[in-house]
Structure 1
Amino acid sequence: MFSFVPLESYYPLYINLCLFLVIFTLLHTWILDIDNRSNLIFINLAGLFLLVFIILYMGQREIDGIFFGDTVNYAHTYQNYAMGGQIQKDVDLGWHNFMKFMSSYVPISMFFTVVAFIYTFPLYKISVTYFGRHWYYAFIMFLVSFSFWTYGVNGIRNGAACSLFLWGLCYERKKLLMALFFLLGVSFHKTVLLPVLAYLVTYIYNNPKFFFLGWLLCIPLSLAAGGVWINLFASLGFGDDRLSGYLTSSSSAGTFSNTGFRWDFLFHSAFAVFAGWYFVLKRKFEDTTYNRLLITYLICNSFWILVIKANFSNRFAYLSWFMMAIIIIYPMLKKQFFSNQHFMIGKVMAVYFSFTYLMYYIYYS
């Protein structure tokens, strides 16, 4: 469908479309009230356009291993199943059974489109569930996140699994349905067990202050003894042998561009930590659902900090980063904190997106 777009221009087209929408949204937040009829029409039309466009744009991409990472490997596995290949042992059975089932009925392009739906629709669903008619602001924050594109076209299994976790969060009052989505997410990618367990912790202890202190403590612990934590988690067999191998394997092309302690990505992770600290501790924002989201993020991000020096640590960073957008925007869509809060939402969105934009055009250029 989008074969007319050169592969090298595929991501730049997406990120510059996001730039246009972020700027246009910022202008709207500056001149219009959040509940102004013109604003509501704009955010609903823009949001629905984004939802449909991203699903099709990601899903109908070309099969390429240079610009779309592991897409080509998923395609090879899919074609193998289409020709009668059997599911191997010690794999994420939910994902591979899903691939094998789909391979019997639809071509690879349709499979990737369905996966793009599984990845993107839950972001829309949770935004609507939590924020009603103001859902667009959370949704676009998800879509302009630094990790969004990568886990839509490269680590798509991890991305889909984490989105299923978010989908499950939409059913806080229907625990059985929530549990089914959580289990489906874990069956897609075992690492999702970490946010699931972290979320369950919030039903035992729901005071974020303790977890803020734990997050801070993990920084010197990682700096002083990062290798100890890496070996510890690897020896525990977190997830499975393959995932433990992510922690101990040698660096190779396609991993984080630099290894060692990643201060740049710690800075990125701190966006959500600062937002949580500001609203919960400084501004005394009280919301049980938000506390659960925040604590889940802090636990998962703390785990990543402990193994931050490992190659492939991006596999574990995403287990918290996929929640960053909602951690940052949630309080401002629930309670009045600033005199011109609509404009503040626009400015926060612009600053948050600027990290994604500048990392691509300056850091990775």
Structure 2
Amino acid sequence: MKEALLLYINAFTYCSFLLALCYTLYIANKEKLQKDNQIPALFIFAILVFYIGTFPYKGLGGDRELYAQGFLQATEWKQNRDVLFMAYNYFCRKIMGLDLWLSLTGFLYVLGIYQLSRKKCKVESTALFVGYITFLFFSAYAVNTMRAGLAASLLLYALVWRDSNKPIYFSLLFCATQIHSSMWLPVLALVLSLYYKNTKVYFYFWLLCIPLSYFAGSYFQQLAQPLVTDFTQLNIKGYLIEKDKMYKSGFRFDFIIYSLIPALLAYYYIYKKKVKDSFYTNIINTYLIANGIWILVIRANFSDRFGYHSWIFIPLLLLYPVLNYKVWPKQQQKIGWIILLQALFTFVLNIR
């Protein structure tokens, strides 16, 4: 990714940190949590779609320019393993230009996250929405790794239907895998943890993955090699195994610590504060499965892209319990601090 592309993403990081700061001040001064007005969230929604849709795609490097080229070339139906994304490009190419396609893709990316926030929070749903905006990978998957971001957004939207309509829920999960086939990992983890719910077993699995990766990581990389896909369809061995001078690889303790924080907070919510919620249990179990598998191949090039399949659940892990249950006194202040600290972490990592 070139410096100019990083500059644009960092500019978004500054803005999202300011948004988190303003929202923290706003929510901390409320007397109590309540059903919030959706007008501010819709205003933020519109700003995000405008930003993503008008984000440059020429001469910046990264995946965005490749996706733009792929859209312009989608004049004929070509069979592809990610059939839904191919169909999306093909039909959009017939009725719209590139600029509108970029805006539509940005709209769909934000829409899934917005709907999840609005439907799964009893109070202050804007807090979860802001939590996702300040999430470490929100901007990168909005404007760079767009296809994975679109698939992840659809997966998150599918969660809206988990308890109310199982056919729609499973259909949307399958559609997410047909936009980006790597979504099979979180989808299978969601299905497995929907039926086997012993969270402590998943915690033990996650902990076991750390020494296994540290001492036998190369073995698991070789084992996972046939299962890994990327949208360029280049040599998978090069993506997983071969060294890339532009990317810091190895056993990433920083990524493991980043993954540990939401897991610890979820453990606190479930076992110390006795939050009993089948949806939340499903999410934390899914996170532990997907993140544990990522830890096993953590030495891979671009391992953050593997980690993303579990990290997309982090804002839910941090905020869902406190937006649906009484956990602390003066809870609105704690919610503000969670959002602000996450935004500060994103800010520090992106500007370093």
Note whether the superposition's TM-score is higher than 0.5.
yes
Following superposition of structure 1 onto structure 2, how do residues 165-244 of structure 1 map, counting pairs within 5 Å?
Answer: 165-172=155-162, 173-235=164-226, 237-238=227-228, 244=236
Quick one: higher RCO (CA 8 Å, sep 6+), 1 or 2? 2
* Offset of residue 328 of structure 1: 0.8
Inter-partner Cα distance in structure 1 for 2:251 and 2:290:
17
Q: Deviations over 1:52-79 (max 9, x none)?
A: 1111210222223526x21111111111
List runs of 5+ in structure 2 lacking aligned partners: none
* Offset of residue 239 of structure 1: 5.1
Q: Deviations over 1:192-233 (max 9, x none)?
A: 111111011123211211111111111111000100111011
- Equivalent in the alignment of 1:144: 134
Equivalent AA in structure 2 for residue 80 of structure 1: Q
**Residue 80 in 1 paired to residue 73 in 2?**
yes
Inter-partner Cα distance in structure 2 for 1:200 and 1:130:
19
Q: Deviations over 1:14-54 (max 9, x none)?
A: 222222221112212332223479xx44xx33322111111
- Equivalent in the alignment of 2:53: 59
Inter-partner Cα distance in structure 1 for 2:34 and 2:266:
28
**Aligned partner of 2:64 among 62, 71, 89:** 71
- Equivalent in the alignment of 1:91: 81
DSSP-derived class of the 2:161 partner: coil
Equivalent AA in structure 2 for residue 192 of structure 1: M
Contact 1:61/1:109 (<8 A) preserved? no
**Aligned partner of 2:97 among 104, 107, 117:** 107
Contact 2:33/2:332 (<8 A) preserved? no
**Residue 283 in 1 paired to residue 273 in 2?**
yes
* Offset of residue 152 of structure 1: 0.9
DSSP-derived class of the 2:73 partner: helix
Inter-partner Cα distance in structure 1 for 2:80 and 2:119:
36
Q: Deviations over 1:106-140 (max 9, x none)?
A: 11111111111221111111111111441101111
Inter-partner Cα distance in structure 2 for 1:280 and 1:243:
43
Equivalent AA in structure 2 for residue 203 of structure 1: L
**Aligned partner of 1:334 among 324, 328, 351:** 324
**Residue 128 in 1 paired to residue 118 in 2?**
yes
Inter-partner Cα distance in structure 1 for 2:109 and 2:244:
28
Following superposition of structure 1 onto structure 2, how do residues 250-261 of structure 1 map, counting pairs within 5 Å?
Answer: 250-251=243-244, 253=246, 257-261=247-251
Equivalent AA in structure 2 for residue 315 of structure 1: R
Inter-partner Cα distance in structure 2 for 1:25 and 1:95:
35
Inter-partner Cα distance in structure 1 for 2:234 and 2:286:
24
Change (3 A) 1:101 1:19: same
Q: Deviations over 1:151-201 (max 9, x none)?
A: 111111111111111111111121111122111111001111111110111
Equivalent AA in structure 1 for residue 50 of structure 2: L
Change (3 A) 1:90 1:248: farther
DSSP-derived class of the 1:149 partner: helix
- Equivalent in the alignment of 2:15: 17
Equivalent AA in structure 2 for residue 66 of structure 1: L
Contact 1:215/1:301 (<8 A) preserved? yes
List runs of 5+ in structure 1 lacking aligned partners: 1-5
Inter-partner Cα distance in structure 2 for 1:347 and 1:181:
33
Equivalent AA in structure 1 for residue 211 of structure 2: P
Equivalent AA in structure 1 for residue 202 of structure 2: F
**Aligned partner of 1:33 among 14, 31, 34:** 31
Inter-partner Cα distance in structure 1 for 2:269 and 2:235:
35
Inter-partner Cα distance in structure 1 for 2:6 and 2:151:
27
Q: Which moved more, 1:302-311 or 1:267-276?
A: 267-276
Q: Deviations over 1:82-117 (max 9, x none)?
A: xx3442x45311111111111111111111111112
Please, what is the CA RMSD of the aligned residues? 2.0
Equivalent AA in structure 2 for residue 341 of structure 1: Q
Percent of residue pairs identical: 27
- Equivalent in the alignment of 1:355: 345
Change (3 A) 1:105 1:54: same
Inter-partner Cα distance in structure 1 for 2:264 and 2:25:
25
Equivalent AA in structure 1 for residue 28 of structure 2: W
TM-score (norm 1): 0.89
DSSP-derived class of the 2:124 partner: helix
